[in-house]
Amino acid sequence: MNQRIPSCQRSVVVQPFLSQDFVTGLPTIPDTYLPQEVEDKMVEAVLTVPGISRVLYDRTAKPPGTTKWELFDLRSLLRQMISARSIG
C-alpha cells in the first residue's frame, strides 16, 4: 500500500508562459510551445535545491494571473536556502 507522508519542505510553482509585452500572456503547453525536455530540466534543477520537495505548474493565462510576485518569492527563497546552506 502506498502511503502519503506529509512534507515540511517547500514547494515551488513554475509558470512558463509566452508574452510579447509581459502584460498579457498565454501558458505554455508541453511539447507545443516548450519542449517537455526543457520543462523536465527546470523541475530537476529546482529539486536539487535543499528544502524543496515538489514542483507545481501554474498554467494560468495572464491576465487574470500574475507573474511578478511568484518570481520575487522564488528568488528570495533560493537566496535564503543558499545562504543557510553555506552557513550550516
Q: pTM higher than 0.75 for the full model?
A: no
Residue 6 phi/psi, 5-degree rounding, is -65, 145
pLDDT for residue 62: 81
Query: Strand, helix or coil at 68?
Result: helix
- Over the chain (88 residues), the average pLDDT of each successive run of 10 is 66 84 82 86 87 86 67 64 64
- Counted residue by residue, the chain has a size of 88
The predicted structure's pLDDT at residue 33: 82
52 contacts 10 by C-beta, under 8 angstroms: yes
